[in-house]
Amino acid sequence: MHDKFAVIDDAIVFTGSWDLSDSGVWRNNNNLVIIYSVRMAENFGVELEEMFGPWRFGSGSPVTTPHVVLALENVRVGTYSAPEDGVAPRVLCILSGGEESMHFMAFCFTRDDFGRAREGKVPAGITVAGVAEEGMLFGKGRELFEWLQSRGVAVLADGNRYTMHHKVVTVAGETVVTGSYNFSAAAEEKNDENVLFMHSRAVAGRHMDEFMRIWRQAG
């Protein structure tokens, strides 16, 4: 159970990469999204009830999100859970569609198909850059990291001596994918995960500010 969210008063949702721990607050790089919406709270409340009631997690969790796509003021937000909602194809669609830029901050990055989607953008002159958690750069993570570097993708190991725990992709300065979902096979096939797809230049700008801070720290 790898979800990171809280529902407050059936009206407020906290979610993102942030673990509710001392390290999550004071040491690790994380993001937290706070959404004030009764319908968004219902989305996460339904997911929570699956865990508390019939103990349905991971691949045993049904497709039950009542409001998959919501328009919240000037932000369009898609709410998805893994593995039941098939998050990986949705991420690939976002990655394949970015025609301006693509930036990512990844605690765990081991999916070849995500890597190929990013690598394919470089010859087209699209800016592609990312920061990966150094402690996860072994085995498959190291192979994919070095493969991307060899194909001209600007990727750096993070500079945080603790943990760079983000799971964020920002595409074309207007779409943000974030949540508990690592870019790994386990996140898609085994773990219970939650993900938001947010379409907003303002929201993307906030995440790009964080990306640039992490990038400078890594460099």
Q: Per-residue pLDDT tens for 187-203?
A: 999 999 999 999 999 99
Residue spans of the domains in the chain: they are 5-218
Of the pLDDT bands very low, low, confident and very high (cuts 50, 70, 90), residue 20 is very high
Q: Which residue has the higher pLDDT, 126 or 53?
A: 126
Instruction: Report how far residue 41's alpha carbon sits from residue 193's, in angstroms, rounded to the nearest whole number.
Output: 16
Instruction: Cis check for the bond before 62: say yes or no (omega within 30 of 0).
Output: no
Which range has the worst mean pLDDT, 58-62, 86-90, 172-176?
58-62
pLDDT of residue 187: 94
pTM greater than 0.95 (yes/no)? no
Using DSSP, state whether 57 is helix, strand or coil: coil
Residue 39 amino acid letter:
R
DSSP string, 28-56: SB--EEEEE-HHHHHHHHHHHHHHHSS--
pLDDT tens column, 139-166? 989 998 998 899 888 999 999 999 999 9
In Å, how far are 21, 41, 59, 61, 121 from 50, measured between CA atoms? 24, 14, 12, 7, 39
Which listed CATH number (3.40.630.40, 1.10.3720.10, 3.30.870.10, 3.90.79.10) goes with 5-218? 3.30.870.10
